[in-house]
Structure 1
Amino acid sequence: MTDSSSYLTTTAQAYDAIAGVYAELAKGEPKLPLDRAILAAFAGSVRAAGGGAVAELGCGPGQTTAHLRELGLAAFGIDLSPVMIDLARRTYPELRFEVGSMEALDLADGELAGILSWYSIIHTPPEELRPYFAEFRRVLAPGGHLLLGFFEAEGGPVTAFDHKVTTAYRWPIDDLAKLAAEAGFVEIGRMLREPEPDERFRRGNLLLRG
C-alpha cells in the first residue's frame, strides 16, 4: 500500500507551489462545449432530484465551483492546497471554500446533494482510490449525484504519467465505473472526449447516482 500521508503531502505541496500560475491558466474554464455540457447535465440532475448542497472536491482556484453556481447549484469548494483555497477565497469572496482532503471529508453523512470531482482523483494511486468512493458515498444523500472528470487510458490499463504538477494516473473508463459500482453508485451516463491539439490524452466523464 502507498503511504497516503506521503502522496497527499506531495500533492498539496506541488499545487501550493504553482497555484498562482495554475489560477492564471484556469481563467475562463470550463471553455469547451462538451465539458460545459456534461457539467450542465450534472447540474440538471441535481436540480431535478430536489437540489441541495454540492461540493466540488479538489476545487483548485475555484473557477469550476463558480461555474456550478452559475448553473444554479448551491456549490462550495474543498481543496487539499491551502494556497489554492486562499486564491479561491480572494477571487470569489461570495463563495465558500475550505481546506480538506477527499479521503476524510469534514461533512456529515448524507449532507450533500452532489459531488463534482473534476480531475481531482487523478493523483490518487490506484490502490488508494477505493476508500475515496466510499467517502463520496457516505457524504451523499440517497439519490445524490457524482460527476467524475479524469484522463482516460484509451484501452490500456491504469497508467501513471508525468503530469505537469505531480504524478497522475489515466484510468480505463470501465474500470473506474466498476470501482464506483462496488461502492454503491449507479451509472447514469458517460462521455469520452478526444484530446484537443494542446492536450495529450483522451478525457473521460462518468455521471453517477448514489
Structure 2
Amino acid sequence: MSTGDWLADTRNSYDTVAISYADHLRDAIAGGPYLRAALAVFADRVRAVGGGPVADVGCGPGHVTAHLNDLGVDAFGIDLSPAMIDVARRDHPGLAFEVGSMTELHLGDASVAGLLAWWSLIHIPDDEVPTVFAHFRRVLRPGGPLQLGFHVGDTSRLKTQGYGGHPMTVYVHRRQPDKVASWLRDAGFEIEAQWLCDPDEQVPQAFLFAR
C-alpha cells in the first residue's frame, strides 16, 4: 500500500467517525486517573524547560489539547482529519487547531516546547515511523519533552468498523515499548520513563516519556 493510500484511508475513516469518536472520548480523561497523571507529568516537563507552544499531534476531537490548556500549557492541536478538526473547533472554540499530517509536519525547526502524540502513531506503518520521529525531533526545542501513548502488542490489524458502527478502513499497529523506544533513540531522543497501563487486559496501553 502506498503512502497516499493509507493516509487517505485513515483521513477518510476518521472523517466518517468524527462525531461518534468525540462522543466516545468525551469523559475519557475525567474517568482515567493514569491518563491525567501522564498529562500532569508532561505539563510539568514543559514548565521545566521554560514553557512555550506545545503540539498535540493527532489531536482528534481536541479533548487532550483542552486538558493540557486547563493545566496551563499553551497547547494547539493538529490532526489528519478535517472533520476531527471541525469537531475540535466546535467543542473548544478558544483553542487553535489545524489540519496536518505527522508524516509531513508543517512546523518550524525548534518551534515547539513540547510535543505529544496519543494513540495516533498506531496508524503509522513501521517504515514511516523514522520519518515521523525525525519531524518530531526537528520541531522540538533542545530538551523539549515528547510523550507518546500507544497500544501494546506485536500485531497489525485492519479496522473496518468503528465508533457508532460506521465503516472504517484503517490499520492499527500494536507495538512493544522497547521497539518504540529504540526508534526514538535512533532519532536522537533520550528516554526518560516508560509506563505500562492495564497489563492484564487483552490490549495493554503504554506511555513513553522522552526528550
TM over 0.5: yes
Q: Answer yes or no: is the 8 Å Cα contact 1:112–1:140 preserved in 2.
A: yes
Superposition TM-score, scaled by structure 2 size: 0.92
Structure 1 residue 21 displacement after superposition = 0.5
Spell out, residue by residue over 1:63-93, the C-alpha distance to the aligned partner (whole angstroms, 9 max, x if none): 1100010111000000000000011111111
How many pairs are equivalent? 202
Aligned to 2:204: 202
Which residue of the other structure, out of 174, 177, 180, is the alignment partner of 1:173?
A: 177
Aligned to 1:146: 146
Letter in 2 for 1:29: A
Matched, 1:190 2:191: no
Aligned to 1:116: 116
Structure 1 residue 6 displacement after superposition = 1.1
Aligned to 2:165: none
Partner SS for 1:112:
coil
Partner SS for 2:133:
helix
Where does structure 2 lack aligned partners over 5 or more consecutive residues?
163-167
Percent identity reads: 46
Q: Answer yes or no: is the 8 Å Cα contact 1:118–1:148 preserved in 2.
A: yes
Could you tell which deviates more after superposition, 67-76 or 162-171? Answer: 162-171
For 1:64 and 1:195, how far apart are their aligned partners in 2? 23
Q: Answer yes or no: is the 8 Å Cα contact 1:29–1:64 preserved in 2.
A: no
For 2:109 and 2:158, how far apart are their aligned partners in 1? 35
Partner SS for 2:116:
strand
Distance 1:200 1:21, change over 3 A: farther
Structure 1 residue 200 displacement after superposition = 4.0
**Cα-Cα RMSD:** 1.3
Where does structure 1 lack aligned partners over 5 or more consecutive residues?
none
Aligned to 2:96: 96
For 1:194 and 1:87, how far apart are their aligned partners in 2? 29
Matched, 1:24 2:26: no
Partner SS for 1:59:
coil
Aligned to 1:159: 155
